[in-house]
C-alpha cells in the first residue's frame, strides 16, 4: 500500500508528466488559457489515462509477453487507446449531454496526446504490477490536472500584465512553465 | 519545380514546425540535452515522416474518409516500430538515451498533422518535398536548442564522442540547470522571443 | 508459423475486435436524445459568445431552454442575436417561426465625461478593478471613470472605446445592444442601462451632497446648482435627493440642456434631429 502511495506521489509531483517528462505539452499550451476548460481537460485526460492503463496492462502482460510480441506494443497500444477514446466519447455523448459539453469536446484531442501513450509505456518500462499501474495513471492524471490548473490561473492574469511585446503569448508561457518546473524540483526528495 | 522548392522551404522557415507552428514539442524539449540525441531524433523523424508521407500519398485515393485518422495512425505506428527496433539494434546507446520518446513519435503532432494536412491531398513528389522540408526544419530547431543546452549545461560541445570545443570557465562550473527539464523551457522561450525580435515571426 | 504471419494475425485481430467493439457500442448505446439534437441545432445558430446576458449560463443552456419552450426568445431574449438581423432570420427559419427584430429596450451610458487628471503613475495590473484597490482609484475625482477599459473588454459587440485624452470610457449608443455586461464590470458603478427612449443623461456621477468640489476636480463636473430643475417647464427634470444629482425622464429637457452651466447633460443619439448649435450632442 505504501508503495502505491509512493508511486502516486512520484508520478504526480516528483516526476510530473508535463514539467519533468515533457508529455502532454500541446494541450498544456493550447487549453490552459481559461481555468474552467483547463480543469475539464485535466479530468478528461485522467479518465482516459486510467482506462488506458487498465486495458493495456493485461493486454501486454497476458497476450504480448507470453508469445514474444513485446515489439508490437506501440501499434497495439495506440489502436486500443484510439478505439477506447472513441467508445468513451460515444457513451458520454449519448448518455449525458451536459457532461459531454463540459469535457467531451476534449476527448478527440486526447487520442494523440503523448501523455496517455506515455503513461502506458512508463507502466511497462518500470515493471509495475496492475495495482501500481493504476496508481501511476491516477498520479499522472492528478499531476497533469494540477499543473494545467496552475498554468491557466497564471495565464489568466498574464493577459493583464505588461509583458514586453516580443515575449507576449508563447515565449512568456514557456518561461513560466520553466519557473513552475523549478518550483516542482522542491518535491525532489519527497519519495525516497 | 518552383512549387517544390516552395514546399521545401516552407517547412524550414515560414512554417517551421517547432518555432512557428509549435507542434511536436514533447520530443524536442525532452531529448535536446545533447547534440547526439538531437541527430538521432531528427533521423528518426525524417525516416518516419518521409515514409509516412509517401505511403499515405500513394494510398490517398483508397483510404475511406471516415477511417482516415485510424489508418494514418496504424501506418505511422508501424513505421515507428521499425525505427525503434532499428535503433535498438544498430545504436543501442543512442536508443537508450532517447528512451521512450522514439515510440512516442507515433503521436507526434508533426507527423499526423502533415499526413492529414498535406500528404492526403497532394501527390507523391510534393509530399516528399514537404516531408524533407518539415524534417529539416524540425532538425534545425532541435539542433539549435540542443546546442544551447549542451554548451551552457556542460561547458563543452561533444558530438559522437568527439570533443569539438570547450569554454574554459563554463567547463568546470557549468550551468547545470540547462540540462534539467526546466532549462529546455527557458531556452525555447528565449529563442522564440529572439526570433520575434529579429522579425522572423510575427508578434502576437 | 513464422513471426511475421503471427504478427499480422495479431494486429488484424486486435483491429477487428476494436472495430467490433465500436460497432456494438454504437448499437447498444441509447440514441442521441432528439431534443438534445434540436438544442444542438439551435446552439449552432446562436452567437456562441456565452456572455450570460440572457440569464442562462452559456449559449448551450439557452439553446436547451429554447428547444423546450420557444417563448423564451421573447421573455429573455438573446441580446447579441437581437442586433444581428441575418442571424435572427436564420434561427427563425430553423424554428419555423417569425422572429421580428425588436431591438434592445435599453442601452448603456457612462456617467462620466470629465477630464479629471490622474493622481499618479500606476504601473500595476492594467484593469479598473485592480486600479481602484490601490488607494482611492487613480484620478483626482473619486467618482471618475478609471479608464483602463474593463467595460470595453467585456462588451460582446465592441461598443465601448476609451477616450485616450480624458481616459474615460465612451459607449457608442448605436452599436450598444443593452446586454448589461459592462454594468457589472465597472467597479465604480458608473454605467447604467437606460430605456432607449430617454433622450439625455447626466455625464457626471459626483454624489457628494454638500461638496461642490465637482467644479475643482474636473472642468465639467456637476456642481449641484439645480438650474436644470428650475428651468424645466413641465417637471421633466427632478432632483434625486439621495444622490444629489438630477434625474431625467423620457421627455427631452431642452431648457435644462441649454441652461446647464457645465454643459454636463448629454444627449443620447435618440433625438439626432434636435441639433442645438450651442449644445451639440457630445457622444
Interface test with C, best of A97, A99, A158, A162 (most C CBs within 10 A): A97
Q: Of the segments A47-56, B115-124, C202-211, C215-224, which one has the largest average pLDDT value?
A: A47-56
| Window 116-175 of B, Cβ < 8 Å to A | none
- Chains with 3+ CB–CB pairs under 8 A to A are B, C
DSSP string, C17-56: HHHHHHHHHHHHSPPPPHHHHHHHHHHHTS------TTSS
Cα gap B87→B93, rounded to integer Å: 9
pLDDT at B52 over 80: yes
Cα gap C33→A94, rounded to integer Å: 7
Residue C254 has what pLDDT? 84
Q: Is A93 on the interface with C (CB under 8 A)?
A: yes
Q: Which CATH architecture best describes the domain C106-267?
A: 2-Layer Sandwich (3.30)
Q: Over pLDDT 70: what percentage of chain A?
A: 96
CB contact under 8 A, B109 and A82: no
How far off is chain B from A98, nearest CA to CA, in Å? 26
Q: Which residue of A has its CA nearest to C15?
A: A79
Number of domains, chain B: 1
Rg (Cα) of chain B, in Å, rounded?
18
User: Maximum Cα–Cα distance for chain B, whole Å?
Assistant: 60
Q: Which residue of A has its CA nearest to B191?
A: A171
Q: Is the dihedral of CA A96, C90, C78, C52 positive or negative?
A: positive
CB contact under 8 A, C33 and A86: no
Residue C278 has what pLDDT? 46
CA terminus-to-terminus distance, chain B: 34
pLDDT at B203 over 60: no
Confidence tier at B79 by pLDDT (50, 70, 90)? very high
Residues of A in contact with C36 (CB under 8 A): 97
Q: Is C125 on the interface with A (CB under 8 A)?
A: yes
CB contact under 8 A, A72 and C10: yes
Pick from A68, A76, A90: which is nearest to C14 by CB? A76
- What is the DSSP secondary structure assignment for residue C187, as one 8-state letter? T
Contact B97, B36 (CB under 8 A): yes
Per-residue model confidence as pLDDT tens for chain C (283 residues): 678 888 888 888 888 888 888 888 888 877 766 777 788 888 888 877 666 667 776 777 788 888 888 877 777 777 777 667 777 788 888 877 777 665 677 888 999 888 888 887 777 778 888 888 876 557 888 888 888 889 998 888 888 999 888 888 999 888 888 888 889 889 888 899 888 888 888 888 888 655 555 566 788 888 888 888 888 888 788 888 888 888 888 888 888 888 888 888 888 865 443 444 445 545 4
List Cβ<8 Å contacts ≥24 apart for C160-163.
none
Q: Is A68 on the interface with C (CB under 8 A)?
A: yes
Cα gap B49→B12, rounded to integer Å: 15
Q: Is the dihedral of CA C239, C241, C244, C249 positive or negative?
A: negative
User: What is the number of other CB atoms lying within 10 angstroms of the CB of residue A127?
Assistant: 7
Q: Is A165 on the interface with C (CB under 8 A)?
A: no
The residue among A34, A13, A3, A47 whose CA lies nearest residue A139 is: A13
Sequence-separated (6 or more) residues with CB below 8 Å from residue C239: C226, C229, C245, C246, C247
CB contact under 8 A, A160 and C32: no
Q: Is B21 on the interface with A (CB under 8 A)?
A: no
Lowest mean pLDDT among A63-72, B154-163, C169-178: B154-163
Residues of A in contact with B184 (CB under 8 A): 22, 178
Q: Which residue of B has its CA nearest to A124?
A: B100
List the beta bridge partners of residue C194. C107
Pick from A79, A94, A162: which is nearest to C32 by CB? A94
H-helix or E-strand spanning residue A114: helix A114-125
| Helix axes of A130-158 and A2-9: crossing angle, nearest 10 degrees | 30
C-alpha cell at B182: 526546466
Tell me what the mean pLDDT of segment B181-185 comes to: 88
pLDDT at A34 over 80: no
State the alpha helices, DSSP H only, in chain C.
Answer: 3-28, 34-44, 59-68, 72-75, 79-82, 85-95, 128-131, 150-154, 181-185, 214-217, 227-231, 254-259
pLDDT at B68 over 90: no
- Count residue pairs from A and C with Cβ separation < 8 A: 54
Q: Of the segments A65-79, B48-62, C21-35, which one has the largest average pLDDT value?
A: B48-62
Residue A112 has what pLDDT? 75
How far off is chain C from A43, nearest CA to CA, in Å? 21
pTM, whole model, 2 decimals? Answer: 0.71
DSSP-based helix, strand, coil % in chain B, nearest 5: 75, 5, 20
pLDDT at A134 over 70: yes
List the beta bridge partners of residue B6. none
CB contact under 8 A, C10 and A160: no
Residue A25 has what pLDDT? 82
How far off is chain A from B175, nearest CA to CA, in Å? 14
CA-CA-CA-CA dihedral for B188, B15, B138, B56, to nearest 10: 140
SS3 A35: helix
Please name the residue that has the C-alpha cell 427634470. Answer: C237
Residue B186 has what pLDDT? 92
pLDDT at B204 over 50: no
SS3 C108: strand
Q: Where in the sequence is the domain holding B18, given as residue range(s)? A: 2-143
pLDDT at B36 over 70: yes
Cα gap C129→C219, rounded to integer Å: 25
How far off is chain A from C125, nearest CA to CA, in Å? 6
CB contact under 8 A, A170 and B192: yes
The residue among C144, C70, C73, C150 whose CA lies nearest residue C114 is: C144
Residue C276 has what pLDDT? 44
Q: Which residue of C has its CA nearest to A87?
A: C22
Interface test with B, best of A71, A115, A178 (most B CBs within 10 A): A178
Residues of B in contact with A82 (CB under 8 A): 69-70, 73
| Window 169-188 of B, Cβ < 8 Å to A | 177, 180-186, 188
List Cβ<8 Å contacts ≥24 apart for B93-102.
B94/B36, B94/B37, B94/B40, B97/B31, B97/B34, B97/B36, B97/B37, B97/B40, B98/B31, B98/B37, B98/B40, B98/B41, B98/B44, B100/A118, B100/A121, B100/A122, B100/A125, B101/B26, B101/B27, B101/B30, B101/B31, B101/B41, B102/B41, B102/B44
Q: Which residues of C110-119 are buried (b: 16+ CB within 10 A; e: fewer)?
A: bbbbbbbeee
What confidence tens digit (pLDDT) does each residue in A148-175 have? 899 888 888 887 777 888 888 788 888 9
Q: Which CATH architecture best describes the domain C35-95?
A: Orthogonal Bundle (1.10)
Residue B46 has what pLDDT? 93
Please name the residue that has the C-alpha cell 421573447. Answer: C74
C-alpha cell at B170: 563554463
- Residue-range domain boundaries for chain A: 2-185
Pick from A75, A170, A173: which is nearest to B81 by CB? A75
pLDDT at A192 over 60: no
Q: Which residue of C has its CA nearest to A72?
A: C7
- Residue-range domain boundaries for chain C: 35-95, 106-267
Amino acid at each position: 500500500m505504501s508503495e502505491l502511495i509512493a508511486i502516486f506521489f512520484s508520478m504526480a509531483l516528483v516526476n510530473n508528466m508535463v514539467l519533468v517528462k515533457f508529455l502532454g505539452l500541446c494541450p498544456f499550451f493550447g487549453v490552459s488559457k481559461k481555468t474552467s476548460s483547463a480543469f475539464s481537460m485535466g479530468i478528461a485526460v485522467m479518465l482516459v489515462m486510467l482506462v488506458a492503463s487498465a486495458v493495456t496492462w493485461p493486454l501486454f502482460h497476458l497476450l504480448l509477453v507470453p508469445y514474444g510480441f513485446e515489439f508490437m506494443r506501440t501499434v497495439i497500444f495506440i489502436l486500443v487507446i484510439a478505439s477506447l477514446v472513441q467508445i468513451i466519447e460515444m457513451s458520454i455523448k449519448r448518455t449525458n449531454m451536459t457532461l459531454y459539453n463540459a469535457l467531451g469536446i476534449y476527448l478527440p484531442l486526447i487520442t494523440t496526446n503523448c501523455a496517455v501513450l506515455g503513461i502506458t509505456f512508463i507502466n511497462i518500462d518500470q515493471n509495475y504490477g496492475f495495482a501500481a499501474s493504476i496508481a501511476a495513471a491516477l498520479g499522472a492524471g492528478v499531476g497533469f490536472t494540477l499543473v494545467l490548473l496552475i498554468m491557466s490561473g497564471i495565464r489568466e492574469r498574464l493577459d493583464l500584465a505588461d509583458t514586453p511585446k516580443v515575449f507576449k503569448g508563447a515565449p512568456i508561457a514557456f518561461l513560466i512553465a520553466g519557473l513552475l518546473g523549478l518550483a516542482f524540483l522542491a518535491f525532489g526528495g519527497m519519495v525516497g | 519545380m518552383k512549387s517544390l522548392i516552395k514546399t521545401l522551404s516552407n517547412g524550414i522557415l515560414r512554417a517551421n514546425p517547432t518555432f512557428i507552428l509549435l507542434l511536436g514539442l514533447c520530443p524536442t524539449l525532452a531529448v535536446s540535452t545533447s547534440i547526439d540525441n538531437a541527430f538521432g531524433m531528427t533521423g528518426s523523424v525524417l525516416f518516419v515522416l518521409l515514409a509516412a508521407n509517401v505511403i499515405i500519398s500513394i494510398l490517398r485515393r483508397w483510404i475511406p474518409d471516415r477511417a482516415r485518422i485510424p489508418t494514418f495512425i496504424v501506418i505511422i505506428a508501424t513505421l515507428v516500430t521499425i525505427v525503434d527496433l532499428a535503433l535498438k539494434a544498430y545504436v543501442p546507446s543512442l536508443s537508450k538515451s532517447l528512451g521512450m520518446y522514439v515510440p512516442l513519435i507515433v503521436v507526434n503532432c508533426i507527423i499526423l498533422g502533415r499526413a492529414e494536412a498535406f500528404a492526403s491531398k497532394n501527390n507523391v513528389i510534393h509530399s516528399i518535398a514537404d516531408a524533407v522540408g518539415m524534417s529539416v526544419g524540425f532538425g534545425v530547431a532541435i539542433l539549435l536548442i540542443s546546442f544551447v543546452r549542451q554548451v551552457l549545461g556542460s561547458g563543452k560541445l561533444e558530438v559522437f564522442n568527439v570533443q569539438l570545443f570547450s569554454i574554459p570557465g563554463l567547463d568546470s562550473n557549468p550551468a547545470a540547470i540547462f540540462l534539467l527539464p526546466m532549462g529546455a523551457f527557458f531556452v525555447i522561450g528565449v529563442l522564440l522571443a529572439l526570433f520575434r525580435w529579429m522579425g522572423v515571426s510575427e508578434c502576437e | 508459423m513464422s513471426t511475421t504471419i503471427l504478427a499480422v494475425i495479431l494486429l488484424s485481430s486486435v483491429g477487428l475486435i476494436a472495430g467490433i467493439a465500436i460497432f456494438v457500442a454504437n448499437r447498444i448505446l441509447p440514441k442521441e436524445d432528439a431534443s438534445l439534437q434540436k438544442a444542438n441545432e439551435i446552439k449552432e445558430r446562436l452567437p456562441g459568445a456565452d456572455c450570460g446576458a440572457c440569464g442562462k449560463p452559456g449559449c448551450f443552456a439557452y439553446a436547451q431552454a429554447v428547444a423546450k419552450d420557444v417563448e423564451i426568445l421573447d421573455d429573455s431574449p438573446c441580446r447579441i442575436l437581437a442586433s444581428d438581423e441575418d442571424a435572427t432570420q436564420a434561427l427563425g427559419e430553423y424554428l419555423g417561426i417569425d422572429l421580428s427584430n425588436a431591438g434592445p429596450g435599453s442601452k448603456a451610458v457612462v456617467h462620466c465625461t470629465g477630464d479629471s487628471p490622474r493622481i499618479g503613475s500606476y504601473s500595476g495590473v492594467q484593469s479598473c478593478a485592480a486600479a481602484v484597490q490601490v488607494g482611492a482609484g487613480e484620478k483626482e475625482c473619486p467618482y471618475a471613470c478609471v479608464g483602463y477599459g474593463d467595460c470595453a473588454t467585456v462588451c460582446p459587440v465592441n461598443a465601448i472605446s476609451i477616450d485616450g485624452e480624458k481616459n474615460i470610457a465612451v459607449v457608442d449608443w448605436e452599436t450598444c445592444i443593452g446586454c448589461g455586461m459592462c454594468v457589472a464590470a465597472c467597479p465604480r458603478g458608473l454605467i447604467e442601462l437606460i430605456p432607449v427612449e430617454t433622450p439625455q443623461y447626466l455625464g457626471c456621477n459626483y454624489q457628494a451632497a454638500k461638496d461642490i468640489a465637482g467644479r475643482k476636480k474636473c472642468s465639467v463636473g456637476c456642481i449641484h446648482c439645480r438650474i436644470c430643475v428650475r428651468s424645466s417647464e413641465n417637471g421633466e427634470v427632478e432632483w434625486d435627493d439621495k444622490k444629489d444629482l438630477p434625474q431625467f425622464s423620457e421627455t427631452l429637457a431642452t431648457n435644462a440642456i441649454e441652461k446647464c452651466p457645465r454643459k454636463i447633460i448629454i444627449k443620447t443619439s435618440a433625438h439626432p434631429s434636435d441639433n442645438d448649435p450651442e449644445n451639440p450632442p457630445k457622444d
